[in-house]
Amino acid sequence: MKTAREIMTGGAECIGENETLEAAARKMKELNVGALPICGEDNRLKGMITDRDIVVKCLAEGGDPRTATASEFGQGKPVTIGVDDSIEDAIRTMGEHQVRRLPVIDGHDLVGMLSQADIARNYPEDRVGELVELISFY
């Protein structure tokens, strides 16, 4: 079976932990993504921020995305997968943690993102429904 390295979307871009939610939203729009890894000053992965975090946790509560930072509203320590981990490991991890995207790391370096869609495109066609169920209802 394939590994995360073989099917991930490479070149993941981070939002800095001290950058604003407005900057995060702009970067999401530019990259056409719904989530970004949050990286610290040391270039280490610190968390994840989603478009939903920005809307529900900040805007809906009256927060100002021009001053709120990614680290304030992002989800804590991210669940990750190693570059050489199998698709089965990724599915299990996504299901256990109820996430649809995993930062892919090589040591401590962020090298890509693995999404449920990436897996679905590389999973046997007759098992894609099973994949969605496993990740959604693990």
pLDDT of residue 122: 79
Which H or E run contains 38? strand 35-39
Domain span at 123: 4-137
Could you tell me the CATH number of the domain that includes residue 107? 3.10.580.10
pLDDT of residue 119: 87
Q: Please name every residue paired with 15 in a beta bridge, in sequence order, or none if there are none.
A: 38
| CA–CA dist 32, 40 (Å, integer) | 22
Which H or E run contains 52? helix 51-52
pLDDT mean by block of 10 residues, the chain; 138 residues: 90 93 97 92 88 94 95 84 93 88 91 90 71 60
- Find all residues with CB under 8 Å of 49, minimum gap 6, and list them: 15, 21, 24, 35, 36, 38, 70, 73, 74, 75
Domain count, the chain: 1
